[in-house]
């Protein structure tokens, strides 16, 4: 039976550390500030934005929400970002994705100042992650690494398989494992012999976006399994990319869905915003 790594517990610890550091910053006259932009009325995006605002309140940050109508033009959105880039009391800017179809996500990401890009999506921040000299890490992969560290799992020398190659999770996840001397394979929809590759892995990170995609015959005994997926099964119940019931008896460590990687993402966003406030105010 696997040890279940609780994202709720680890994220609460990260948030408590951020809150304590925030108090220290306030004593120096600095209160971290996060601006969240949401365009349109996507219900999932609304839930995420509300959770981010709540997390800011919990750790003592100032948060500003900019809820724009779905018909907002590219120019209106870019001018808002420009205004926030130049607003000293805002240290982090986050534009909730996906955006309505008529808006250019790439241009929006590029418009956010790299020093305020607390999602770590800007090309210059992505480049810094590649060379291992970064200020910010994308929140979900950073959260996965925090869970690995919290469980005392050694990455160095391990065979690591990342299923999924998105810019937000898969690619940066592979780089973070590589930085800790893991031997990393990235798998995706065109990968041949996926089952064989996964069954040789010591650490599997599932970020494919398909309900219960990773079955027990893809996992070797004693593997560490980290599930990034958030899906709904045929009954509308929340589930991950891993068939938890089947895989849990074989794994040595596993993250649940919900309550695993999910809570970590927002905790790491708080950590990035704190770091941004320190960088912008030249505080070590």
pLDDT digit string, tens, across residues 84-111: 999 999 999 999 999 999 999 999 999 9
User: Among all residues, which ones are annotated catalytic?
Assistant: 52, 96, 119
Residue 89 lies inside a defined structural domain of this protein: yes
Q: Per residue in 17-30, pLDDT tens?
A: 999 999 999 999 99
Residues 90 and 169 in one domain: no
Would you state the pLDDT for residue 203? 98
Residues 108 and 144 in one domain: no
- Give 13's contacts (C-beta < 8 A, 6+ positions apart): 150
Q: Say how many C-beta atoms besides its own lie within 10 A of residue 4's C-beta.
A: 16
Residues 152 and 222 in one domain: yes
pLDDT value at 174 more than 90: yes
Residues 193 and 257 in one domain: yes
Residues 256 and 174 in one domain: yes
Measured between alpha carbons, how far is 127 from 132 in angstroms, rounded to an integer? 9
Here the CATH number for the domain that contains residue 58 is 3.40.50.10860
Here the CATH number for the domain that contains residue 188 is 3.40.50.720
Measured between alpha carbons, how far is 271 from 266 in angstroms, rounded to an integer? 9
The residue among 219, 205, 201 whose CA lies nearest residue 264 is: 205
**Domain that residue 104 falls in:** 30-114
Span 113-135, mean pLDDT? 97
Q: pTM of the full predicted structure?
A: 0.96
Residues 85 and 183 in one domain: no
């Amino acid at each position: 039976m696997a040890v279940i790594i609780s994202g709720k517990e680890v994220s609460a610890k990260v948030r408590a550390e951020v809150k304590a550091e925030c108090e220290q910053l306030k004593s120096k006259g600095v209160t971290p500030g996060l601006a969240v932009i949401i365009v349109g009325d996507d219900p999932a995006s609304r839930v995420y934005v509300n959770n981010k605002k709540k997390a800011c309140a919990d750790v003592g940050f100032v948060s500003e929400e900019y809820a724009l109508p779905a018909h907002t033009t590219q120019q209106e959105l870019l001018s808002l970002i420009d205004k926030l880039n130049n607003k000293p009391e805002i240290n982090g800017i986050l534009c909730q994705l996906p955006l309505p179809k008529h808006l250019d996500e790439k241009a929006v990401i590029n418009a956010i100042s790299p020093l305020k890009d607390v999602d770590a999506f800007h090309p210059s921040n992505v480049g810094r992650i590649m060379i291992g000299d970064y200020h910010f890490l994308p929140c979900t992969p950073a959260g996965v690494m925090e869970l690995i560290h919290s469980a005392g799992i050694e990455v160095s020398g391990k065979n690591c398989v990342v299923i999924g190659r998105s810019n937000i999770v898969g690619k940066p996840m592979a780089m973070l494992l590589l930085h800790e001397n893991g031997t990393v394979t990235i798998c995706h929809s065109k990968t041949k012999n996926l089952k064989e590759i996964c069954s040789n892995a010591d650490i599997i990170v599932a970020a494919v976006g398909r309900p219960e995609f990773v079955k027990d015959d893809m996992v070797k005994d004693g593997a560490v399994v980290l599930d990034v997926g958030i899906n709904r099964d045929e009954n509308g119940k929340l589930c991950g990319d891993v068939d938890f019931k089947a895989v849990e008896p074989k794994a040595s460590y596993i993250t649940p869905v919900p309550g695993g990687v999910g809570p970590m993402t927002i905790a790491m966003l708080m950590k990035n915003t704190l770091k941004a406030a320190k960088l912008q105010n030249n505080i070590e």
